[in-house]
Structure 1
Amino acid sequence: MIAVLLVFAFSPLPAHAQKEKIRVGYYEDGDYMSLNENGEYAGFNIEYLEKIARYTDWEYEIVDCRSWDNTLQMLKDGKIDLLPAVYYTEERARELLLSNLKMCDIYSTLNVRADDDRYHYEDFESFGGMKVGVIKNSVDAANFGKYCEGNGIELEIIPYEETGELLGALADGTLDGVAITHLGKNSTFRSVAQFSPEPLYIALAPGRERLLRELNQAQSQLKLRDPYYEAELYDKYFSVSIHQQPAFTAEEQEFIDHADKIKAVYGTADMPIEFNDPETGEFAGIARELFQSIENQTGLEFEFIPAATRAEAFGKIKNGEADVICSVVDDYLWAREHGLDMTGSYLRSPLVAVTTKHGNGEIIALPEGYWFSREIAKDNPGRTIKYYVTFENCFDALLSGQADVTFTDTYVADYLLSDIRYEQFSVVTLSGYVEEISIGVSKSADPRLFAILDRCVQYTSTEAIDEIVLQNSVVRQEITLDYLIHRYPAATIGIVVLVFAAVTGVLGYILRTKSKNNKTIRDLLYRDRLTGAGNLNQFRMDAEKVMEEKTRGEYAVVSADIEQFKAINDAFGFTEGDEVLRSLAAVLERSVTEEECYARVSADRFVLLLRYGGWEELAARTASIGREMEEWAENTKRPYSISMIFGVYIVQDAEKFETSLAMDFANYARWHAKTTRAAQTVLYDETMRREELRQRHLSDIMKGALKNGEFVPYYQPKVNMCTGDTVGAEALVRWIRPDGEMQMPGSFLPFFEQNGFIVEIDLHIFEETCRLMKEWADSGIAVKTVSCNFSRRHFKNPSFARQLAGIADRFGVPHGLLEVEITESIVMEDIYSVRKCFGQLKELGFKLAIDDFGAGYSSLGLLEQLDVDVIKLDRSFIRSESKKIKEEIVVRGVVAIASELGMEIVCEGVETKEQADMLVRVGCLIAQGFYYARPMPAGEFRKRLHGAQ
């Protein structure tokens, strides 16, 4: 297999075709697409398509189709090729070709004139009798009809052909309102309802399958190269503008009209976010100006209460002295701990590490009582933590040599670093730590207060926040000759930090999560939009109701999924995957009785509560579900088969039913079925219970073990087989328990991979390795390249490369001495994510290695795309006694081609002299294995390096 793939790897690529003209349907649609003052086509749709054109050989011909209805019909008739911003419906999925990836998520709105005060936000009673215009035959019109029906609203709906005509009718008073997709930034109307958030896709005419493949590939490339493009473009056209004001419900307006002064607590020294103005002693800063805007928008009045420390601020919330805290990190655990509800965030910022030139990072200064201080302390076990009252106190501790490093967000860092005293400090951004700053409202306060403040934050535009930030980002300082003399030599640092903070503020705020008021849209809370089945919320309610009312017999919780669903999605697209899910939901709907229930939990995972009349009966029912899905695939001539997997947990008659626990047990049985392939339907049994208890125990102790330093790196040398020299090493994790017992990786790593803790373990081993390498170098030892293993989970983190660079830089370890190692299977699973991340790591100077090469379907062409430095041959190449000649031929070929590509070959698992001799004969000179050295503690490896010198 590998030999064949080596041939394919070097096949020539087709030349680029000439630009192909694509006819794009156009109709006037506001910020989505319109003609600007220069007669140019502009808007969200146009700009998105121009971005797509960079990844295709397309050029566009815009065809004015006048109206939405006519545009859609022309697409169905093949008179145009492409139409952007199309909602999904089953009919459209049958008649048209829809892109795999969405353009964005958008919601529908009910809009009224800004000066029309007859309507409050979601005041259903006042909506009665309205004349509301909609676009004829649009999904918005259908969604609005359902919205009215669901909320008992009776009004007149009037269809229009064109968006311009519709909005004109609202502006001139012909209509009381329009129900339409969110109008965007330039809208001058007021939204009094929001509903039906749904994705928008690009639609292609029937028969354009080749164009669809090119479009899907282009969207995938765009998503991989610029994962935030969609959000940035959305914010450009659809975020709240300075002209749009929040609307409130009648109940909220009543609160505003009758509320006394609201007591809000703020920090006195958290410059520039909140502090006491040194001249007036009054509340000042970014938060103060935000609250001034809220006062202007609502008419509410606030009494601001100073607090010198975070503990004092939280104490005033707890004892009822204040209902609001002006700035607090939006973390749900932090909110729960302090009895707060958090609004949407109004600032977003990564943390920065601020250091002196001579510190070694061992003593950390942190402001006491802050969320990030606890996180930093937790993630830095073994270092000395010193707590101070304010951020400025922490900076002063660095200045006096009492600490080596402190942490803060970019806003505070920018503000303080503009002070001449701190100019010599260095700054490193830590993208792995991000603060989202919100307004906190006491859980004991009137809930209407939270709703009002949350909506005010939602309707505070990006431009307004940027203006506030810029006005509050500079220290007020007397400009003297002495100041100028000292200031300008370090101006570059100040400017860089200032620009970085401003850019981070703008781009970060683009991505802030905005709370959407959907309390009245029951379907969003309890139904799965794709399949129409209940969702997890509905299942919890239904299951608990069934179990409370049952009078006899037992029930079983069944966790089900489709074994090859990801492969179907990857090969045939998300639209096809959605069809499979709808079919499965239909099968389950027919399979359950009135005393049973089911729901879609996520992706292809469904959960059922079924009556249990014995194992054979239940197994027959699950087998029947599996057969129905197989028959559906056959009858609809699908080019694939479908296999179902089921995990079962039997709820005993006398047992107190706990939905989450029962689902966990059923999920564990399903996972066991999937990994062992023992049977289609697997029962949660005593063996699984013991394994579950073992894993729960691991889960209970793993974080404490990490904090206590029980996870340590062992190093297995890489050896030049010709000279015997140690040329590098691989870092491997070992768990040394307090009693001295060593846990081998196989006993805990698979579970940590499953629950995500592997991410913390990987980074810990990497950080320990960097620390040890610095220690070795400082003691005069010539440091060799060390490779560290990383889980597939890291490649979902867009900041992963910067995170590694930040750790390495903290210890001063050259990136070229660090090798990022992943297995071949990770590459084959998600080549796009890996390729993007590898590109970032390569730019930063790290070496890249593929482990277990040859264990699966390998391609050196694939590795050439990834530009790897090292290939580690899987031990299976040298294990077979019966295929020695073939093995030697294959290894020789791999070594020759890899050498041509400039890659180093390392062979793992070398245990005999015979194996070593064969590898040397074929040109593989570097090996790892017990024949040369077992993995060893850091101290022993250090002695080995020192002895070599």
Structure 2
Amino acid sequence: MGFFHFDGYHMEDEQGNRSGYGYEYLQHMLLYADWKYEYVGYDKSWSEMLGMLERGEIDILTSAQKTKDREKRFGFSKNSIGKSKTIVTVKSGNTRYMSGDWRKWSGIRVGMLKNNSRNESFAAFAREKDFLYVPVYFNDMQKMLRELQEGGSIDAVVTSNLRATSSEWVVAEFSPSPFYIITRKEDFALLHEIDDVLSKLQADDVTLEESLMDKFYTPKNGSELPFTVEERKYIENARRSGRRFKAMLNPEWEPFSYRDEQGRPAGAFVEIGKLIAARSGLEFEFITTANREEHLKKKESREADIILDLRCDYNMAEKRGYRLTNPYIHLNVTKLSLKNNHGDMKTVAALRFSNITEQFIKTYFHEKDIVFYDTQQECVDAVLAGRQDCLFLYAGGAQLVMNRDITNSLVANVIYG
């Protein structure tokens, strides 16, 4: 197995512990194949790895993009194992070369790895944006990155976003493309086995690639986020003016958002909001409301700049005058009922002003079979007392209820994701 050093993709610490996107993908493949890996070439470059594969010194190499030359020389898996982009990074704090201000890029000295396909995509990018650059070639990634931080002979580096960045700003991302597993051209049996494994793995775990990208490539701090020139100006102006962005939360959605014993906003969504504020450089003011009903009314009034718990519904967001980010949490719906209730769930304890009530319960239960309550605890008490057969909560909230049920009378079943 070709295991070249590439921060974020292939890593090995001083104790020999391996990690990274590519490494973990290989481990997931072992669930479907009776293989044992031998890892070779941690001190080798990518171009050296290609030569080793061609000479038969390794059998498998991952993260290969398709080029005409490579397709002539190697066998490619039918399915890709992810998508990557070309990125351009500068040393953190270098504001001369910012995204969108391409005129200032003319004459930029760009560090590049020899024989890297990303060099071609950068050349096309430079032609598109109409600026000239000076290429400076390196054989070694680490040497190139040290030169960016300490040497001064280059202003930027061109690499793949499969590299975890450190003390750098990503000032451009482009040319997204899939990457594959490759073998020697004549290794038909091995390539067929790889294709079979990938088909099974990807059918069973459709979120694997996304979760690995989140795990190994999420920026650790705000200095690594790829803000554009306009975005950085916006952030700086907001900080200078002392603007505080109002962020609203549901006060009755424990453990995600609630008020602690001192009445302060608390919960997972609050912590996420604090991280967003810290890493962006913006300042948030968390707004709490007395109850769910007031929370819903304030959503409608557009009083807040940011709503941290809006369900991913473009129609709802548009009607309320908000734009949606990408989803940042996925919550299953869970049914809670008494363990000794083995019959049909005929009546349901429903929480007023809840997404689940509006989007799930009213779809599957007749109005006459729904009994509304103001708080989550009232719904739980109704089921424990046998007044209704069940209630529905999001995972997390349901787990909290189960943990607090000292009678051990409830059973939880995930309904859908």
- For the aligned pair, the TM-score class normalised by the smaller chain equals 0.7 to 0.9
Report the alpha carbon displacement of residue 204 of structure 1 after superposing the two structures with TM.
1.5
Q: 1-side partners of 2:14 and 2:146: how far apart?
A: 18
Match of 1:369 among 353, 362, 383: 353
Contact map agreement 1:28 1:163 (CA 8 A) in 2: no
- In the alignment, which residue of structure 2 is the partner of 1:721? none
Superposed, 1:846-861 pairs within 5 Å as none
- In the alignment, which residue of structure 1 is the partner of 2:244? 261
Is residue 69 of structure 2 the alignment partner of residue 85 of structure 1? no
Contact map agreement 1:96 1:203 (CA 8 A) in 2: yes
Report the alpha carbon displacement of residue 407 of structure 1 after superposing the two structures with TM.
0.9
- Residue type at the aligned position of 2:184: A
Q: 2-side partners of 1:80 and 1:335: how far apart?
A: 52
307 and 63 in structure 1: CA distance in 2 versus 1, 3 angstrom threshold: closer
Is residue 330 of structure 2 the alignment partner of residue 348 of structure 1? yes
- In the alignment, which residue of structure 2 is the partner of 1:149? 127
1:559-581 Cα deviation digits (max 9, x unpaired): xxxxxxxxxxxxxxxxxxxxxxx
Contact map agreement 2:219 2:225 (CA 8 A) in 1: no
- In the alignment, which residue of structure 1 is the partner of 2:409? 424
Superposed, 1:220-231 pairs within 5 Å as 220-224=199-203, 226-231=205-210
Q: 1-side partners of 2:28 and 2:90: how far apart?
A: 34
- In the alignment, which residue of structure 2 is the partner of 1:412? 397
Is residue 80 of structure 2 the alignment partner of residue 97 of structure 1? no
Q: 1-side partners of 2:252 and 2:172: how far apart?
A: 40
1:703-761 Cα deviation digits (max 9, x unpaired): xxxxxxxxxxxxxxxxxxxxxxxxxxxxxxxxxxxxxxxxxxxxxxxxxxxxxxxxxxx
Report the alpha carbon displacement of residue 181 of structure 1 after superposing the two structures with TM.
0.9
- Residue type at the aligned position of 1:261: R
Is residue 252 of structure 2 the alignment partner of residue 275 of structure 1? no
Superposed, 1:454-853 pairs within 5 Å as none
Contact map agreement 2:114 2:139 (CA 8 A) in 1: yes
Report the alpha carbon displacement of residue 364 of structure 1 after superposing the two structures with TM.
1.3
Alignment root-mean-square deviation, CA: 3.2
1:8-52 Cα deviation digits (max 9, x unpaired): xxxxxxxxxxxxxxxx44543233235531457654334434554
TM-score by length of 2: 0.84
Contact map agreement 1:29 1:164 (CA 8 A) in 2: no
Q: 2-side partners of 1:168 and 1:262: how far apart?
A: 38
1:377-429 Cα deviation digits (max 9, x unpaired): 24414471223333233223324444221111122223344435775332212
1:108-132 Cα deviation digits (max 9, x unpaired): 3222223445454554355444322
Report the alpha carbon displacement of residue 99 of structure 1 after superposing the two structures with TM.
0.5
Q: 2-side partners of 1:416 and 1:53: how far apart?
A: 37
Superposed, 1:121-140 pairs within 5 Å as 121-140=99-118
- Residue type at the aligned position of 1:90: K
Contact map agreement 1:271 1:285 (CA 8 A) in 2: yes
- In the alignment, which residue of structure 2 is the partner of 1:29? 6
TM-score by length of 1: 0.40
Aligned partner of residue 207 in structure 1, secondary structure: coil
Superposed, 1:383-462 pairs within 5 Å as 384-419=369-404, 423-430=408-415, 432=416, 434=417
Q: 2-side partners of 1:57 and 1:399: how far apart?
A: 51
Is residue 274 of structure 2 the alignment partner of residue 292 of structure 1? yes
Match of 1:216 among 188, 195, 200: 195
- Residue type at the aligned position of 1:98: F
- In the alignment, which residue of structure 1 is the partner of 2:21? 44
Aligned partner of residue 258 in structure 2, secondary structure: strand
- Residue type at the aligned position of 1:265: M
Report the alpha carbon displacement of residue 97 of structure 1 after superposing the two structures with TM.
1.0
Q: 2-side partners of 1:293 and 1:64: how far apart?
A: 35
Q: Could you tell me which runs of 5 or more consecutive residues in structure 1 were left unpaired when the two chains were aligned.
A: 1-23, 435-949
- In the alignment, which residue of structure 2 is the partner of 1:198? 177
Contact map agreement 2:331 2:394 (CA 8 A) in 1: yes
- Residue type at the aligned position of 2:10: M
Contact map agreement 1:416 1:422 (CA 8 A) in 2: no
Report the alpha carbon displacement of residue 356 of structure 1 after superposing the two structures with TM.
2.8
Is residue 147 of structure 2 the alignment partner of residue 161 of structure 1? no
Match of 2:295 among 296, 313, 325: 313
The count of aligned residue pairs is: 408
Which has the larger share of helix? 1
107 and 390 in structure 1: CA distance in 2 versus 1, 3 angstrom threshold: farther
370 and 336 in structure 1: CA distance in 2 versus 1, 3 angstrom threshold: farther
Aligned partner of residue 290 in structure 1, secondary structure: helix
136 and 354 in structure 1: CA distance in 2 versus 1, 3 angstrom threshold: same
1:471-513 Cα deviation digits (max 9, x unpaired): xxxxxxxxxxxxxxxxxxxxxxxxxxxxxxxxxxxxxxxxxxx
216 and 418 in structure 1: CA distance in 2 versus 1, 3 angstrom threshold: closer
1:266-302 Cα deviation digits (max 9, x unpaired): 22222222222232x2322222222222332233233
- In the alignment, which residue of structure 2 is the partner of 1:848? none
Aligned partner of residue 165 in structure 1, secondary structure: helix
RCO higher in structure (CA 8 A, sep ≥6): 2
Q: 1-side partners of 2:254 and 2:337: how far apart?
A: 19
185 and 214 in structure 1: CA distance in 2 versus 1, 3 angstrom threshold: same
- In the alignment, which residue of structure 2 is the partner of 1:237? 216
Q: 1-side partners of 2:165 and 2:251: how far apart?
A: 38
422 and 411 in structure 1: CA distance in 2 versus 1, 3 angstrom threshold: farther
Report the alpha carbon displacement of residue 216 of structure 1 after superposing the two structures with TM.
1.4
Q: Could you tell me which runs of 5 or more consecutive residues in structure 2 were left unpaired when the two chains were aligned.
A: none
Q: 2-side partners of 1:334 and 1:277: how far apart?
A: 29
Q: 2-side partners of 1:41 and 1:423: how far apart?
A: 42
Aligned partner of residue 159 in structure 1, secondary structure: strand
Q: 2-side partners of 1:108 and 1:358: how far apart?
A: 58
Report the alpha carbon displacement of residue 185 of structure 1 after superposing the two structures with TM.
4.6
- Residue type at the aligned position of 1:148: A
Identity %: 26
